[in-house]
Structure 1
Amino acid sequence: MNNDTVVGLMKELTATLSAVAGEFDKRIAAVVEPVEETDDEGPSSGALIARANALLAERRLRRQHLPAELFHEPAWDMLLALFVAADDPQPMNIKALVAMADAPVTTSQRWIEHLYKLRLIDRVIDPADRRRVEISLSAIGQDSVTSYLRAVAKM
């Protein structure tokens, strides 16, 4: 495969991913409502974090044994990584989050922007170094991932 073919395939993939993100923007409601809590809280936050860590590890392991393009969901990897990082005193920056997504930088940055538009993540500029942007789950993002992990635990 020559360089022109690879470049053409990369451009086609980028255009497709942009179209998918655009379609998500069109379909999403103006506000993403957090799922209501039930009386049965389910697993502890520690158990949910352990489950999220296990999901991340399973996803990495899958890519070691099967073609990575079969399981390309950078947004989900980012949400799980941010959920796990919520208890970490070190803030997550864009560079670390991109590394967790196991996707090209430009693709990851597009997904970060999309997650921000969906109000699932918050971005804060580091006052000490304005080039650094810290990323965290928003309250809506935290509630959504927690709700998902609790629902999976009940299965």
Structure 2
Amino acid sequence: MIDSQEALGHLLDDVKRTALNGEDPVSAAALLLEAAESLLSAAGEIGAGASEGESVSNGPLYLVSAMQQRAASRVYGARRVRDAVFADPTLFGEPAWDMLLDLLAAQGTNKRISVTSACLASNVPLTTALRWITVLENKGLVEREEDEMDARRTFLKLTRKARGLLRTYFVELERRKLL
């Protein structure tokens, strides 16, 4: 529990620093949401907010996250169906969006997405996908993570900023009854 409290304290310090320094408001909001989630999770560790026999992971926090991951998976799947039905790769294309959806969908399963896998998810030629990964990195939406076991492989993961924007997007879709 002390580790959780310490981690939460550091996270809240990051939120304050981000807000006070006038940094990107989306990053500050993502940090704040992460702090709130950590606080709820820590409260569950000590029994607060959970009825006897009730698992904290079944609470609303888990459901919202799972809903967003399922929604990302469905949106990505619908895009692939559209591509197959129209059978013309020149009609549609948003490789960055496809990669973000794939990364979000994988997040809940603790599945790491390699650069190669992200390129395949983008549904465009490899060189185009690699250019889009660079764009996403430069915009602070994804970051690379080296594989400790295999130096030839690199993974991609969503940044806090991207998680905050995607969360906002899916919450807004739900609010407008579009999901």
Q: Would you say 1:128 and 2:149 are equivalent positions?
A: yes
Matched residues, number: 124
Could you tell me the percent identity over the aligned residues?
26
After superposing the two structures, state which structure 1 stretch, 85-94 or 52-61, moved more. Answer: 85-94
Q: What residue ranges of structure 2 are gaps of 5+ in the alignment?
A: 1-22, 34-59
Q: 1:48-127 to 2 correspondence within 5 Å?
A: 48-66=68-86, 67-127=88-148
Question: Does the aligned pair in 1 maintain the 2:73–2:105 contact within 8 Å?
Answer: yes
Question: Does the aligned pair in 2 maintain the 1:32–1:119 contact within 8 Å?
Answer: no
The TM-score with structure 2 as length reference comes to 0.63
1:70 alignment partner, SS class: coil
Residues of 1 paired with 2:78 and 2:175: CA distance?
Answer: 19
> What stretches of structure 1 move > 6 A for 4+ residues in a row?
none
Task: Return the match for 2:26 from 28, 31, 34.
Answer: 34
Residues of 1 paired with 2:25 and 2:79: CA distance?
Answer: 27
Residues of 2 paired with 1:65 and 1:73: CA distance?
Answer: 17
CA offsets, 1:77-114, max 9 Å, x none? 00000011112233110111111111100000000011
Structure number with higher relative contact order (C-alpha < 8 Å, ≥ 6 residues apart): 1
- Cα-Cα RMSD: 2.3
Q: What residue ranges of structure 1 are gaps of 5+ in the alignment?
A: 1-30
The TM-score with structure 1 as length reference comes to 0.72
CA offsets, 1:24-46, max 9 Å, x none? xxxxxxx75417479xx997111
